[in-house]
Amino acid sequence: MYQYEYLHKFVLEVFARMGCSEEDATTATNVLLDADLSGVDSHGVARLIGYVRLWEAGRINTKPNIKIIYETPSTATVDGDAGLGLVVAPKAMQIALEKSTNVGTGWVAVKNSNHYGIAGHHAMMALPHDMIGFSMTNASPLVAPTFSKERLLGTNPIAVAIPADQEPPFVADFATTTAANGKLEILQRKGEEAPTGWIQDKDGNISTDPHSLKAGGALLPLGGDRLHSSHKGYCLGAMVDILTSVLSGANYGPWAPPFVSFLPLPDDPVGEGLGHFFGAMRVDAFRPADEFKSHMDNWIRRFRSAEPVEGQKEVLIPGDPERLSKQERIKNGIPLLGPVVDDLESVAKKMEIKFERGQ
């Protein structure tokens, strides 16, 4: 078990050694560790070594000149200058918040960025301002559209954060696939089969072998197969790809750069880096904020008190699992898997930073 403060100090030091300013290192560390706190273990310190390797490969610029290259009163396009997505994303969301303050809503497309941590973190930046926040990103192509043998889309998550009054906020944050890669890795380790509807093999056949993905298969869009409306998951993933990357000038579809540094970049890029898309809408651009938030309380209470199916305690509100995880892990610490700790140790050794197992 690792205390939040201990990991925070360590990760901050790593980003500082990579050349980030103190402000940027702090931002990046906050975003990365928010994933660990929220129980989204795949997007937290487990990815730190990946960022370090991308930086070593010269694919991350830790002194980026992040700037607006196009704008209107309610929109902006931002060039991330190959910066850490963990730093570029909050800066872009900040621009969306400012536009929203001025004209009711703000929408920011970002090119030339990298992986940005958990989508929900950025959407939630809207909440203290009584705004609704949106956050999306494209990602390395691992997903086959309906009827496709080829992987053309990333897991392309969508996050939406909506403020309430007395109740905690509504925070949805989900990949547009049936299952995430991390869940497959768990099945691989356990030697268990995957449910149908999660993956297909390299020939495009339904597969239950969790190793299929690494053997040239693909993750399936939310829905799984056509009978269960995988074309809707494909629509969602495609929408995210277009808003984040065609709109901004990033690499879209199969041209999205891989996160792992050992895979080569496509030699015929159609844009720059990965793309994100952020939005912020002032609640009081539509109705008085207190009215809206009191109805959100009512919405949340009605859904939470719905009669549950047998075997389930209650109907959850989007954001409940992450919020409960956060409370628990701030108090009791963050569990890390052995291989993740090994990776952190190797980063520590390389950078000559102190890291003790089991803190």
**Residues of span 248-267 touching a second copy by CB under 8 A:** 248-249, 252-254
- Closer by beta carbon to a second copy, 64 or else 271: 271
Q: Which of 23, 267, 310, 352 binds a second copy (CB under 8 A)?
A: 310
283 lines the binding site for a second copy (CB under 8 A): yes
Residue 332 as a binder of a second copy (CB under 8 A): the answer is no
To the nearest whole angstrom, how small is the minimum distance from the Cβ of residue 153 to a second copy? Answer: 9
| Interacting span for a second copy (CB under 8 A) from 3-11, 103-111, 327-335, 344-352 | 103-111
314 lines the binding site for a second copy (CB under 8 A): yes
Q: In angstroms, give the least distance from the CB of 71 to a second copy.
A: 8
First and final CA of the chain: distance in angstroms?
6
Binding of residue 200 to a second copy (CB under 8 A):
yes
- 104 part of the interface to a second copy, by CB under 8 A: yes
Query: Which of 10, 55, 278, 292 lies at the binding interface for a second copy (CB under 8 A)?
Result: 292
- Does 189 interact with a second copy (rule: CB under 8 A)? no
Q: State the minimum distance, in angstroms, from the CB of residue 328 to a second copy.
A: 20
Site for a second copy in 139-158 (CB under 8 A): 145-150, 152
CA pair distance 85, 78, nearest whole angstrom: 12
Are 320 and 328 a contacting pair, CB within 8 Å?
A: no
217 binds a second copy (CB under 8 A): no
**Which stretch, 123-131, 173-181, 330-338, 347-355, contacts a second copy (CB under 8 A)?**
173-181
Return the half-sphere exposure (C-beta side, CA atoms, 13 A cut-off) of residue 288.
3
Q: Which residues contact 136 (CB under 8 A, 6 or more apart)?
A: 119, 156, 157, 158, 159, 240, 243, 244, 276, 277, 278
Give Cα separations from 353 to 22, 61, 140, 236, 348 (angstroms): 16, 21, 31, 42, 5
Name the token pair of 67.
Answer: 């700037």
Q: Which is nearer to a second copy, 39 or 104 (CB)?
A: 104
Give least dist CB 309 to a second copy, A.
3
CA gap 273, 239 in Å, rounded: 18
Please, what is the minimum distance in Å from the beta carbon of residue 112 to a second copy? 13
| Binding of a second copy by 268 (CB under 8 A) | no
Which of left, alpha, beta for 169 (phi over 0: left; psi -120 to 50: alpha)?
beta
Q: Name the one range near a second copy by CB under 8 A: 10-18, 28-36, 207-215, 221-229.
A: 221-229
What token pair was written down for 48?
């730190």
Q: Which residues pair with 272 in a beta bridge?
A: none
Residues 212-240, buried b or exposed e (16+ Cβ, 10 A)?
A: bbeeebbbbbbbbbeeeebeebbbbbbeb
Residue count, binding to a second copy (CB under 8 A): 87
